[in-house]
Structure 1
Amino acid sequence: MNLEQILTCVDIESRTNFSNVNIEQICYSSRECGPNSLFVAIKGYRTDGHDYITDAIQKGAIAIVHSSELSDYQDNIVYIKTPHSREMLPILASNFYRHPSDYLTTFVATGTNGKTTSCSIARHIFSTFGKKTALSTGVGFFIGDETVKVDRTTPESLDLQRFLRQAVDIGSEYFFMEASSHGIYLSRVAQTRFDCAAFSNLTHDHLDFHKTMENYYQVKKSLFLTDPPYTIINIDDPYGERLAGELKERGKSKILTYSFHKNSDYVLSDFQQGNWQQSFRFCGPNIDTVFHLPMGGLYNAYNASAGIIYALQKNIPLSIISTAIETYTPAFGRMNRIHHNGYDILIDYAHTPDGLLKFLTGVKGNTKNRLISVFGCDGNRDVNKRPMMGKIAYDISDIAILTHCHPRNEDNIDVLNQVRAGFPDEDHVHVFADRVDAIKFALSLAQPGDSVALAGLGHYRYVERNDQFLPYNDEDTVRQLLNLPKA
């Protein structure tokens, strides 16, 4: 594609050595650049892409988009200066991939917890109905029979637009995706057209980034100000109730609410769970039925609701929706269960205070005897949630085992001590600096009727420590320790 086409609607301050060259690739990492590529230099929180412009040129970049002044301009390279290169990247990407979301019906879920399960259940409903679908979550990008591993909940805008184009090219009709607060704030979802946006909840997390809950809320709210045709909101969450009220005042989107406890468009009731299954009654316009979901935890009834409501708006028959809910298989790292010698091991990404509370409560509700929890907190992330999570694990677990998640660049012992500050006492708490040792100890304690809940890493296949990504996965570890075959 020629450069002039790619620059359509881009805010340009100046052009140097401009020529309408043909671009074969766009990249924001110099490592990815190849011949005839356009390199977009983005100033990040840890590194600045402007420092890698020379590397990009050496690898074949023939055009540079930048927002900082440069000390050197090579004669044979096109330079495009823009006020904010990060905000221009989604425009460049959408132009380059020919506006793929225009050819898809896209569902996006946002909230502190539940995004992956909400999107996965919604996709399963539409796939069961025979629709061609694609899915983008923190677990990966799923298109046809292909799975692409990702390193963040919401891909960078360039990667997202490429995924969308791939989905279009194989004939997908529907695209389901998560939008994290970072993804929204950093313009990763800009230039993506949404048919439906769903809000699950907003609880304590990411305050190292957003600083206040109000800032966090306003970022989430901004996703809905694009006024998609459908907006689905859990109004049992206080921020969801506020969001529904504020959006109704705008009057530009069809607002659909759901709740167990409040007057809403769709009302959930009669929740029952046992043996790692649940049922709940679901009532609304032209529907009064009971759904059966093969997952524990009240929170998963909430997670299923957004997809159910969206499917109803798209006239998918109730029989199809019911079948899809009954046959849903949890996403990798989300309430995954291994049964062994009469006890159960549950693996989940629960990494926030609310997420840990809901996960452990859900496991407890399906456990006959003791709940043994293994959990931790990430390094270089919100420190205020650490003692909160310690208190939650202490209160719900019969035996709580504290260990690491991603230490990153923090001292692991410091993180553990900050979590320990939330324990009223340490009578039934054990601390292990090594996660494998913690899991091994938990499994050694387990007896028939017990549950071992592993929280915090879920789908991750690595642990981040001192800028290294060390191979690791909770389920693989459990299977190795118990001499079970790989899944």
Structure 2
Amino acid sequence: MIELKDILYKVTLNAVVGSTSLAIKAIEFDSRNVNSENVFVAVRGSAVDGHEYIDKAIDSGAIAIICEEMPQNLQEGVTYVEVDSSSKAMAIMASNFYNVPSENLKLIGVTGTNGKTTVASLLYQLFKKAGYKVGLLSTVKILVDDNEYKATHTTPDSLTINKYLVEMNKAGVEFCFMEVSSHGIHQNRTEGLHFEGGIFTNLSHDHLDYHKSFAEYRDVKKRFFDQLSSKAFALVNTDDKNGLVMLQNTSARKFTYAIKGYADYKAQILENQFSGLLLKLNDSEVWSRLIGNFNAYNVLAIYATAELLGLEKVEILRIISELQSVTGRFQYLVSDEKITAIVDYAHTPDALKNVLRTINSIRTKNEELITVFGCGGDRDKTKRPKMGHIASALSTKVVLTSDNPRSEVPETIIEEIEKGVEPQNFKKVLSITDRKQAIKTACQMANPNDIILIAGKGHETYQEIKGERFDFDDFKIVQEFLKQLQK
């Protein structure tokens, strides 16, 4: 069994009361999960302060407490360790407790506003097809080679990350691709991990309810690259002006990719259709089943990453041509009536604009483009009118509806989206609060060859209303309604 002093290796300590020569069975930050011979980490969250549960944790068997502020009454026989940041300490301790599992595989972090899930998932597919044992930590799911687990956060807590990395070590996984969210970086969930490389996709308006300003949001993303070692690589999209910002202070080897500007890895879009993309990657042509300009960037990112990780160029190109789109990311079907329905996770202004522009660049303009979307409750409110403006300007018809309203009133969210609709577009827009009814209405409005975009929830199979989750799958629902129209 590992001792407390061993799992505190590399943790900056402010004060210690008691012995660190204690055998520890587990690390916990939820007092409800504490058992005998556990160390309890008192983490300050946005809603709950773990310091309030220190006594409860001790009553449940905790023999050591990690905290940012020493309790007034110290109990005998318990070791107290004061640190500057409990979340940072926990991440380093978790890595030590599980014997630094990230060192036993090549861990690649993918960060940015849009494209994280697609890039990480496509890299998993690519390396799997190349014959490797591969891991994936993503918004959609967690994969330990062939074993699938449900994902609850874009970036899980540091204990969970290391537990899965241990499972990957046991399974012989050689490469792991991981989404790294701004929340995850800010909350120190990636501390103590050894990354072989980092990828930056882009940066646009999102999570400003959490980060307060775009500059803070950008700087949190940058922190991930600042922490990469000189042995790692940093691959950034320089068509986004923030790409070079990510490279400013990193010790990692620097690489760039772009479609518009000069870069180490360049792509040119030769054909862009609903059936896929014909791309020129540096000096080689490749056909991809993925659709749209934004996916050209994603394909370029995975091509560059695979080459940086040592795969042969010919093999990379062959596998890219076989890759399938990710669930809920420009996932589409065509009904017998020739109505195209597209389900996409686009829940930021930039992502919605990208998807709509992609559709408009492919369609003939003789058909309608009907967009169904809403905005999530208890999240960044400033993006709501922006998304209303984008959808109404770039669609022929818009149905505003609920997303995950959470604790907010759906009608209020819709009213805030409507504020961004310009007068000339008022007639294009109608509001139907019930999302299922909104999708049904869009299907009834559509004629042969029309296109329906259902944006915002993508891969999610639930709708969150007043603290409850109800089964809800955009793709299954639109599929069902389009079948009914065929009868």
The answer to whether TM tops 0.5 is yes
Match of 2:6 in 1: 5
Match of 1:334 among 329, 340, 346: 329
Pairing 1:307–2:310 present: no
Asked whether the equivalents of residues 267 and 281 of structure 2 are also in contact (C-alpha less than 8 Å), the reply is: yes
Match of 2:236 in 1: 233
Report how many residues are paired. 476
Question: 1:302/1:34 Cα in 2 relative to 1: closer, same or farther (>3 Å)?
Answer: same
Instruction: Quote the Cα distance in structure 1 between the aligned partners of 2:147 and 2:60.
Output: 29
Instruction: Quote the Cα distance in structure 2 between the aligned partners of 1:142 and 1:408.
Output: 28
Asked whether the equivalents of residues 125 and 320 of structure 1 are also in contact (C-alpha less than 8 Å), the reply is: no
Match of 1:278 in 2: 277
Match of 2:401 in 1: 403
Alignment of 1:242-321 (within 5 A): 242-244=245-247, 246=248, 252-283=251-282, 288-321=283-316
Alignment of 1:133-172 (within 5 A): 133-172=134-173
Instruction: Quote the Cα distance in structure 1 between the aligned partners of 2:461 and 2:54.
Output: 32
Instruction: Quote the Cα distance in structure 2 between the aligned partners of 1:53 and 1:434.
Output: 44
| Structure 2 counterpart of 1:289, one-letter code | S
- Computed over aligned residues only, the root mean square deviation of the Cα atoms, in angstroms, reads 2.1
Pairing 1:184–2:185 present: yes
Superposed displacement of residue 192, structure 1: 1.1
| Structure 2 counterpart of 1:130, one-letter code | G
Identity within the alignment, %: 33
Superposed displacement of residue 68, structure 1: 3.0
Asked whether the equivalents of residues 221 and 246 of structure 2 are also in contact (C-alpha less than 8 Å), the reply is: no
Superposed displacement of residue 348, structure 1: 1.3
Question: 1:59/1:362 Cα in 2 relative to 1: closer, same or farther (>3 Å)?
Answer: farther
Question: 1:52/1:473 Cα in 2 relative to 1: closer, same or farther (>3 Å)?
Answer: farther
Instruction: Quote the Cα distance in structure 1 between the aligned partners of 2:119 and 2:97.
Output: 30
| Structure 2 counterpart of 1:41, one-letter code | A
Instruction: Quote the Cα distance in structure 2 between the aligned partners of 1:276 and 1:365.
Output: 13
Asked whether the equivalents of residues 70 and 80 of structure 2 are also in contact (C-alpha less than 8 Å), the reply is: no
Question: 1:145/1:33 Cα in 2 relative to 1: closer, same or farther (>3 Å)?
Answer: farther
Instruction: Quote the Cα distance in structure 1 between the aligned partners of 2:137 and 2:220.
Output: 20
| Structure 2 counterpart of 1:265, one-letter code | D
Match of 1:364 in 2: 360
Residues 23-57 of structure 1, C-alpha deviation per residue, up to 9 Å, x if partnerless?
22222223333443322111101111222334434
Match of 2:202 in 1: 201
Instruction: Quote the Cα distance in structure 1 between the aligned partners of 2:228 and 2:93.
Output: 23
Alignment of 1:336-351 (within 5 A): 336-341=331-336, 342-351=338-347
Q: Tell me, which stretches of 5 or more residues in structure 1 are unaligned? A: none
Question: 1:292/1:83 Cα in 2 relative to 1: closer, same or farther (>3 Å)?
Answer: same
Instruction: Quote the Cα distance in structure 2 between the aligned partners of 1:60 and 1:331.
Output: 44
Task: Provide runs of 4+ in structure 1 moved above 6 Å.
Answer: none
Instruction: Quote the Cα distance in structure 2 between the aligned partners of 1:143 and 1:483.
Output: 36
Match of 2:57 in 1: 56
Please identify, of 96-105 and 327-336, the stretch whose mean Cα deviation from structure 2 is larger: 327-336
Please identify, of 127-136 and 467-476, the stretch whose mean Cα deviation from structure 2 is larger: 467-476
Instruction: Quote the Cα distance in structure 2 between the aligned partners of 1:144 and 1:265.
Output: 31
Asked whether the equivalents of residues 348 and 457 of structure 1 are also in contact (C-alpha less than 8 Å), the reply is: yes
Pairing 1:98–2:99 present: yes
Alignment of 1:378-389 (within 5 A): 378-389=376-387
Asked whether the equivalents of residues 276 and 366 of structure 1 are also in contact (C-alpha less than 8 Å), the reply is: no
Match of 1:47 in 2: 48
Instruction: Quote the Cα distance in structure 2 between the aligned partners of 1:312 and 1:19.
Output: 45
Superposed displacement of residue 177, structure 1: 0.7
Match of 1:392 in 2: 390
Give the TM-score normalised by structure 2: 0.92
Match of 1:22 in 2: 23
Give the TM-score normalised by structure 1: 0.92
- SS in structure 1 opposite 2:342? strand
Asked whether the equivalents of residues 18 and 78 of structure 1 are also in contact (C-alpha less than 8 Å), the reply is: yes
Match of 1:441 in 2: 441
Asked whether the equivalents of residues 65 and 82 of structure 1 are also in contact (C-alpha less than 8 Å), the reply is: yes
| Structure 2 counterpart of 1:210, one-letter code | H
Asked whether the equivalents of residues 271 and 298 of structure 1 are also in contact (C-alpha less than 8 Å), the reply is: no
Superposed displacement of residue 473, structure 1: 2.5
Please identify, of 452-461 and 314-323, the stretch whose mean Cα deviation from structure 2 is larger: 314-323
Asked whether the equivalents of residues 117 and 304 of structure 1 are also in contact (C-alpha less than 8 Å), the reply is: no
Superposed displacement of residue 478, structure 1: 2.9
Instruction: Quote the Cα distance in structure 1 between the aligned partners of 2:191 and 2:380.
Output: 26
| Structure 1 counterpart of 2:409, one-letter code | D
Superposed displacement of residue 363, structure 1: 3.0
- SS in structure 2 opposite 1:138? coil
